Amino acid sequence: MRKEIIKIEDLKREFTMGSETVHALRSISFDIKEGEFVTIMGSSGSGKSTLLNILGCLDQPTSGTYEIDGVKVKGLSRNELATIRNEKIGFIFQSYNLLPRTSAIENVELPLLYNSKVSTIERRERAIKALKMVGLGDRMNHTPSQLSGGQQQRVAIARSLVNNPVMILADEATGNLDTRTSYEIMSLFQELNKQGITITFVTHEPDIATFSNRTIVLKDGHIMQDYNNYNIQSAAEQLAKLPKEDH
Amino acid sequence: MRLLNLFKIAFKAIVLNKMRTLLTMLGIIIGVASVIAMLAIGEGSKESIRATISNMGSNMITVKPGADVRGGVRRNASEMETLTFKDYEAIKAQTTLTSYISPIVNGSGQVINGSNNWPSTIFGVNPDYLNIKVVDLQSGSMFTNAEVQSAAKVALIGQTVVDNVFPDGEAPVGKMIRFNNIPFKVIGVLEEKGENTFGQDQDDVVVAPYTTVQKRILAIDHLNEVMASAISEEDAPNAVLEITEILRTQHKLADAEDDDFHVRSMEELISTFSSTSEMLTILLVAVASISLLIGGIGIMNIMYVSVKERTKEIGLRMAVGGKGADILMQFLIEAILISITGGILGVILGLGSTVFIEKFLNWPTSVALYSIIISFAVCAVTGIFFGWYPARKASALDPITALRYE
Ligand SMILES: Nc1ncnc2c1ncn2[C@@H]1O[C@H](COP(=O)(O)OP(=O)(O)OP(=O)(O)O)[C@@H](O)[C@H]1O
Ligand SMILES: [Mg+2]
């Protein structure tokens, strides 16, 4: 039996705005096992980001239980949550969120700066390794403004890998990219997944979901569907099939 | 380890915003520099006053008629005739703490030698006077007690008088001069003392026996002043008390009555003038401190802008594991780095302008180590104080809200 990385049960998240209460998540329960590649789908406002924020310990549920890698998250302090984010989670955002005017390698090092167990030398080595994994070994000293969108997202992926997280969480990580670049990024995710990294990927593009082994569909804060995908597409193959751009 | 990393982060932020940081620092630089320069000017003038006064004879005690009116309505002391020769005799007879004592009468008039004419001041004194004032003679000798008794028409003159009434460079000793038409034989020339801090020319004097000045020039029989010299500087305050007691008895003053004279030691004079210059120093420092405060507000302002501008960055740092304390420290260190660097530059600028003031404006200055330490400490505290609130605000941000901030 594979280890459960995520276990949530009867998770609810409500936002109170004045007299109104928005039920962003209403009783969500599911597990994610080690090595899974899960896509979370759903229309806009269905609660995908809210769910991902809770999974990433950036937000706390209103009720219900949540365990990540065997740690119960409920009732943890701000600092304890920060430590979990630092040691167990890698985040990737739609808008990359790289530090401007800061080199790729320094951006990748960022999470390790907040981990006092990692020495300066080890930090640098791990950052170089992560950048090489995403194919940017030759771009380490470039700043975000010198990189394309796809390259910036690769830097962000390297940053999410550098702390050896138990899980990578991505919120519309391909949302700002064209199809070709999206597929490149997806094939990178598939590679990482093959190496055993658990990935949870929020998207609303159905073709992206075909690259994962499981899809959870949300609607109005409920789980509509939760199914395994037995016909996983290879992003690399899809990329090769795309019509060549003519210049 | 962690602190070192935060240091690096803060340093990086400063380097990335060089121009802005420099402008922010400017307030601190000017503040610190002016505090140091102002204190140096204040301290310098205090020292120079002290030097002048002790050059005038630090054991000196003066007795003047009239109540002590420091800070009150000043009456013209020369109009008061309450100090008499009998008072002088009583002090001389009973004092144990003074070594020299002289009656003083003074008046102004013209010094004339042939066609040369110079307005000056004549001091009528006894032979103790030179010892009290700690003045030597360039040439000639002091008059004797016998010459005082006989009201002899002999005088000693200062260098300024020599320069003006003996312009041809002839030796004055043995020559005759006239003061307000009374002929005097010059028997000595006083050593040059130059100007004192208050701008008075100490060499523009004529010194003669007090009897002669009383009878022949002023036609009075009271004294303008009595000068004495305490046996040591430490005894000066007690000598003041002793003389006060002697004079109260002499003047038959009841316990309830105020003194109709006042006795002052140089020490008091020093403190009087020092307190004036201290007031000035406080004023200058207050003005300088305000500019330091404004510098501090500049830091607060820039840190606020910085926190606002970097809200997304703060959100990201929190998302990858930065704790509230890390964010707080990052911004606090940034503020402190700005203020301390500004402080160092300010100290350098302050010392530089002090040298400039001394060299080119010829004002006496003296840089006290404490002024550097204080302004530097104030600087660091300013950084912490004004950096704290914006940093605190940054650290309390909610990671998701911060990440979403546009
Ligand atoms: N901080 C908040 N305060 C109030 N309401 C919120 C907050 N965050 C989310 N919501 C609400 O919760 C619901 C779910 O939002 P969420 O951002 O999770 O949607 P989503 O599925 O990610 O949508 P999209 O695909 O557009 O990103 C929405 O109705 C939204 O208005
Ligand atoms: Mg969303």
One DSSP character per residue, B46-114 reads HHHHHHHHHHTTTTEEEEEES---TTSPPP-GGG----BHHHHHHHHHH-SSEEEEEEEEEEEEEEEET
**Residues 6 or more apart from A198 whose CB is under 8 A from it?**
A5, A32, A33, A34, A35, A36, A37, A166, A167, A168
Q: Cβ–Cβ of A114/B319 closer than 8 Å?
A: no
Query: CA B59 from chain center: how many Å?
Result: 19
- Give the DSSP letter of residue A94: T
**Percent above pLDDT 90 for chain A:** 91
Ligand nearest to the CA of residue A44, numbered in listed order: 1
pLDDT band at B385 (very low <50, low <70, confident <90, very high): confident
Our answer on whether the CB atom of A21 is closer than 6 Å to any ligand 1 atom is no
Residue A211 · residue A194 · CB < 8 Å? no
**Mean of pLDDT over chain B:** 86
Query: For chain B, what are the domain ranges?
Result: 3-52+272-404, 83-259
Mean pLDDT of A118-136: 94
Q: Cβ–Cβ of A114/B399 closer than 8 Å?
A: no
pLDDT of B71 strictly over 80:
no
Q: For chain A, what is the total number of helices (H) and then of strands (E)?
A: 8, 10
Spatial separation of the C-alpha atoms in residues B241 and B225, rounded to whole Å = 17
Q: Measure CB to CB from residue B400 to each of A53, A97, A101 and give the nearest one.
A: A53
Question: What's the pLDDT tens digit per position in B232-252?
Answer: 877 888 899 999 999 999 888
**Residues 6 or more apart from A238 whose CB is under 8 A from it?**
A183, A207, A211
Query: For chain A, what are the domain ranges?
Result: 4-241
3-state secondary structure of A232: coil
Spatial separation of the C-alpha atoms in residues B18 and B339, rounded to whole Å = 14
- Chain pair A-B, CB pairs under 8 angstroms: 63
Q: For chain B, how long is the longest CA-to-CA vector?
A: 104
Higher pLDDT, B278 or B129: B129
Which positions in chain B touch A102 (Cβ < 8 Å)? 12
Ligand nearest to the CA of residue A46, numbered in listed order: 1
Which positions in chain B touch A87 (Cβ < 8 Å)? 321
Q: Tell me the β-bridge partners of A170.
A: A92, A201
Tell how strand B182-190 and strand B98-113 pair up.
unpaired
Q: ipTM of the predicted structure?
A: 0.94
CA-to-CA dists, residue A124 to A243, B2, B11, B162, B381, angstroms: 39, 15, 19, 85, 35
- Position A1 scores a pLDDT of 64
Which positions in chain A touch B16 (Cβ < 8 Å)? 101
Which protein residue has the closest C-alpha to ligand 1 atom 3? A15
Work out the number of other CB atoms within 10 angstroms of the CB of residue B62. Answer: 18
Q: Tell me the β-bridge partners of B124.
A: B105, B208
Out of A15, A54, A169, mutate this one to test ligand 1's pocket (max ligand atoms within 8 Å of CB): namely A15
pLDDT of A36 strictly over 70:
yes
* Buried/exposed code over B242-277 (b: 16+ C-beta within 10 A; e: otherwise): bbeebbbebbeeeeeeeeebbbbbbbbbbeebbeeb
CA-to-CA dists, residue B17 to A226, B181, B345, B374, B405, angstroms: 49, 80, 18, 28, 21
Level-2 CATH architecture, domain A4-241: 3-Layer(aba) Sandwich (3.40)
Ligand 1 centroid to Cα of residue A47, in Å, is 6
Q: Does B294 touch chain A (CB under 8 A)?
A: no
CA distance B24 to chain A (A): 21
Q: Cβ–Cβ of A56/B319 closer than 8 Å?
A: yes
